Amino acid sequence: MHVLQGDLDRPATLRRIAGIADRVLHLAPPPAEGWADTRTRALVRALRLRSPPSTLVYASTSGVYGDCGGQVVHETRPPRAETPRARRRSDAEAAVRFLGRSAGVRTGILRVPGIYAEDREGGTPRKRLLAGTAVLRNQDDVFTNHIHADDLARACITALWRTQPQRIYNVNDDTRLRMGDYFDLAADLYGLPRPPRITREAATTQLALGLLSFMRESRQMDNTRLKRELRLRLQYPTVSDGLQRD
């Protein structure tokens, strides 16, 4: 095995990877600022220098859909990114798809929601439950989507071999829960008190801006394409399965 190091923020260091890999898995996040993902653009330019890979799989975010009002979301839904973070992801997707169309690379884009696992920093609701952080009352609440880190890893590897050309996949489990119900479920599994429920108006003054950003968008992602085309069998089909394992 040969390990080559490159810095996505220093494009010149990426030249050495050109023409080396046949299949590329791109998991790096975009920069923290700006409207474009300069890191993905740099990678794409490097891969074009010599013999582009046969396959490139990019892990994006479900945030590119924007707020869908709780509707069921399929991959054919036009993206409508609303936050700077999601817009950078949309820019990355565009760069990846352009590489696919212009250089004949089979590209797959994985739109990933909330990732959870016990061994991830903040990877379960336990810390928030112990802190007693409030959630929205049911009439103000939003639908959220989840995927266990192990299932995400399996989806990434599977996509390297099974993605269809220029294809998008929702990578989420089968759970259909509002955010508050998710935390109630976790509290019951952990034997902890359920979090207090507050109005959306109260949340704007009581909760951190980072938390509020996740409470402004509601969608239920459909994962039929993930299971039918990539033929991925989820090890943790619901958050109840994953949280009990952890």
Residue 58 β-bridge partners: 26, 109
Can you list the pairs that 17-20 forms with residues at least 24 positions away whose Cβ atoms lie under 8 Å?
A: 17/46, 17/47, 18/46, 18/47, 18/48, 18/49, 18/50, 18/51, 19/49, 19/50, 19/51
In this prediction, residue 17 has a pLDDT band, given cuts at 50, 70 and 90, of confident
pLDDT at 73 over 60: yes
Lowest mean pLDDT among 10-24, 58-72, 141-155, 226-240: 10-24
**pLDDT computed for residue 188 by the predictor:** 96
State the average pLDDT for the chain. Answer: 95
Nearest of 11, 59, 60 to residue 39 by alpha carbon? 11
Element (H, E) at 23: strand 23-26
pLDDT at 5 over 80: yes
pLDDT at 154 over 60: yes
Longest dimension (CA), the chain: 57
**Averaged over 83-103, what is the pLDDT?**
97
**pLDDT computed for residue 245 by the predictor:** 64
**Averaged over 236-245, what is the pLDDT?**
91
| The 3-state secondary structure of 65-112, one letter per residue | HCCCCCCEECCCCCCCCCCHHHHHHHHHHHHHHHHHHHHCCEEEEEEE
CATH 3.40.50.720 given to domain 11-245? yes
What is the percent of the chain where pLDDT is above 90?
88
pLDDT at 58 over 90: yes
**Averaged over 12-29, what is the pLDDT?**
93
Nearest of 8, 104, 110 to residue 54 by alpha carbon? 104
pLDDT at 139 over 60: yes
**Averaged over 157-177, what is the pLDDT?**
97
pLDDT at 149 over 80: yes
If you ran DSSP here, which 8-state letter would residue 122 be given?
Answer: T
**Averaged over 145-159, what is the pLDDT?**
98
**Averaged over 28-33, what is the pLDDT?**
96
**Averaged over 27-47, what is the pLDDT?**
96
**Averaged over 17-36, what is the pLDDT?**
94
